[in-house]
Amino acid sequence: MDSNADFTKRKLWGGRFTGTTDPLMHKFNASIGYTKKLYKVDLRQSVAYSKALKLAGILNADEAEELKRGLHLVEKEWEDGVFNISSDDEDIFTANERRLSEIIGSGIGGKLHTGRSRNDQTATDARMWLLDQIGDTKAYLIDLINVMTSRAEKEVDALMPGYTHLQKAQPVRWSHWLLSHAHALLSDVQRLSQLIPRISVLPLGSGAMAGNPYGLDRELLAKELGFRSVGQNSMYMVWDRDFVVEFLQWSSLLTNHFSRFAEDLIIYSSGEFGFVTISDAYSTGSSIMPQKKNPDSLELLRGKSGRIFGQMAGLMMTMKGIPTTYNKDMQEDKEPMFDCATTVQDCIRIAEGVIATLDINPEKMRAALSEDMLATDLADYLVRKGVPFRETHHISGRAVAMAEKENIRLSEITFAQYLTLSDQFTEDVYSVFDYENSVEKRNVTGGPSRKGIATQVQYIRAALGDIE
């Protein structure tokens, strides 16, 4: 069995050390348990780096080809599930390089790290991995928004109460509610696209922090790895984790939107409301109450927002006080990034499933409408007759109070009683008490009329088509 001293010397940094590493310190320091997620992008990076080393004259053609062959064999072992992680492997970078040298020999394998530090290597891998995840995340979000707009088109007839302060406010279309959340998600997709140029900046070639001394063609590396630009300051490139923080911040806002959307549907699906019925596929039951059907999918969407926010806040606190440039604290960026990307994608796909499969109950939505919600329409009626709005607001309020006092609807107030409130009322006042008419009058851009819904759908689809 290897001695602990030999164990230390075989590490990438082991030549400086003559003492031994505490086994607990090795475990505490190691990140292979989660950085193994980066194996594919790390190997892609190494293939490109070997090409740059060849062009810089560090490798000859045969050495470069042998490195490429070996790296592909390492990748195949990962893909086939037979890659053996050694107890010596601190991280994915150590593991891949160790296995490469075992396959092709350390004479050539040992040249791969020339001029490259784990500092610029890990920063490059993280950006590559995150860019791949963002591509999937955008696609899932666009699918969800398309489901929402399709439902909005098909279910435009359904009227429901709109709420402020969780109190009935004015009648709207179910489609208008649905599209309000689609617009929030559209903004999220647009913001996610805006992150990409800041993530797609190449750190490779920055070395430990002072750059690369071998004249590597970094523009070539950027092209090979699909980066949009090359980092212009080597110190900044190895310590920058703003791109991770920004992704976590974006994810916090997205899941905040999901939380509000889920809260509404939890309320609307309750027995007291009954506006929607959540599919059995996205519900669970009670262990003790057979009649229960719980909207756990929505409750989990609401709960995940706290988890994502916590990860974002935690990394912000990790980063806030560390000195320039790379410090081991920064290893704490990976787990929240990995978990956040997975959680966000799961949330999007669950939300899509919920929306695609839920049933709406238009009769219960309409039954929840009440004529007091048309009080603003009553005020608008008098405005159209030339009465100042501040005065009509007061008159309409008195009509509501009269109806409440007599326990009748606004439409049941007699014409004579309306004349006691204002001599501007005429017998056509009763045309106000029509929910469909109320919604259709709000036909401005962004309103809940049929025309407004159609315009919103068209706008959202066009905006999705413009997203990179």
Query: What are the tens digits of pLDDT across the range 426-462?
Result: 999 999 999 999 999 999 999 999 999 999 999 999 9
Q: Which of 87, 286, 370, 431 is catalytic?
A: 286
What value does the mean pLDDT take over residues 406-410? Answer: 96
Query: What are the tens digits of pLDDT across the range 285-307?
Result: 766 776 668 999 999 999 999 99
User: Nearest 5 degrees, angle CA 227-CA 233-CA 234?
Assistant: 85
pLDDT band at 6 (very low <50, low <70, confident <90, very high): very low
Judging by DSSP bridges, how do beta strands 229-230 and 201-202 pair with one another?
A: parallel
With respect to residue 344, please indicate whether it lies within any of the assigned structural domains.
yes
Dihedral (CA of 395, 397, 400, 406) sign: negative
Query: What are the tens digits of pLDDT across the range 38-50?
Result: 999 999 999 999 9
In this predicted structure, the answer to whether residue 1 has a pLDDT above a threshold of 50 is no
- In single-letter form, the type of residue at position 464 comes to L
With respect to residue 220, please indicate whether it lies within any of the assigned structural domains.
no
Do 188 and 329 fall into the same domain?
yes
Catalytic status, residue 165: yes
Q: Provide the pLDDT for residue 9.
A: 46
Do 197 and 252 fall into the same domain?
yes
Determine if the peptide bond prior to 35 is cis (ω within 30°): no
Q: Provide the pLDDT for residue 379.
A: 96
d(CA 85, CA 27): 14
In this predicted structure, the answer to whether residue 4 has a pLDDT above a threshold of 80 is no
Q: Residue 60 corresponds to which tokens in the numbers above?
A: 């000859």
Residue 158, domain CATH = 1.20.200.10
Residue 403, domain CATH = 1.10.40.30
In this predicted structure, the answer to whether residue 313 has a pLDDT above a threshold of 90 is yes
What value does the mean pLDDT take over residues 112-135? Answer: 97
162's CB contacts (< 8 A; 6+ apart) are 168, 169, 170, 171, 172, 176, 177, 448
Q: What is the mean pLDDT of the chain?
A: 94
With respect to residue 259, please indicate whether it lies within any of the assigned structural domains.
yes
DSSP 138-160: HHHHHHHHHHHHHHHHHTTT-EE
pLDDT > 90: percent of the chain: 91
From the number of C-beta atoms within 10 Å of its C-beta (0-12, 13-18, 19+), residue 349 rates as middle
With respect to residue 85, please indicate whether it lies within any of the assigned structural domains.
yes
Q: Residue 149 corresponds to which tokens in the numbers above?
A: 């707009």
Bridge partners of residue 294, in order along the sequence: 284
Do 193 and 296 fall into the same domain?
yes
Q: Provide the pLDDT for residue 20.
A: 75
Do 174 and 48 fall into the same domain?
no
Contact (Cβ atoms closer than 8 angstroms) between residue 386 and residue 425: no
In this predicted structure, the answer to whether residue 164 has a pLDDT above a threshold of 90 is yes
Catalytic status, residue 286: yes
DSSP 19-72: S---HHHHHHH--HHHHGGGHHHHHHHHHHHHHHHHHTTSS-HHHHHHHHHHHH
* Residue among 274, 255, 222, 216 nearest 346 (CA): 255
Q: Residue 214 corresponds to which tokens in the numbers above?
A: 């071998």
In this predicted structure, the answer to whether residue 200 has a pLDDT above a threshold of 80 is yes
Do 177 and 295 fall into the same domain?
yes
DSSP at 169: E
Do 244 and 321 fall into the same domain?
yes
Do 85 and 101 fall into the same domain?
yes
Q: Provide the pLDDT for residue 465.
A: 95
Do 82 and 204 fall into the same domain?
no
Do 168 and 294 fall into the same domain?
yes
d(CA 83, CA 250): 35
Query: What are the tens digits of pLDDT across the range 316-373?
Result: 999 999 999 999 999 999 999 999 999 999 999 999 999 999 999 999 999 999 999 9
| Phi and psi based region of residue 386 (left: phi greater than 0; alpha: psi -120 to 50; beta: remaining) | left
- Among 45, 77, 109, which residue terminates a domain? 109
Identify the domain containing residue 233 by its residue range. Answer: 118-213+227-367
* Residue among 153, 255, 246 nearest 199 (CA): 246
Q: How many domains does the chain have?
A: 3
Judging by DSSP bridges, how do beta strands 359-360 and 276-277 pair with one another?
A: antiparallel
pLDDT band at 26 (very low <50, low <70, confident <90, very high): confident
Helix (H) or strand (E) run with residue 344 in it: helix 334-357
pLDDT band at 14 (very low <50, low <70, confident <90, very high): low
pTM: 0.92
Residue 63, domain CATH = 1.10.275.10
Cα maximum dimension of the chain: 103
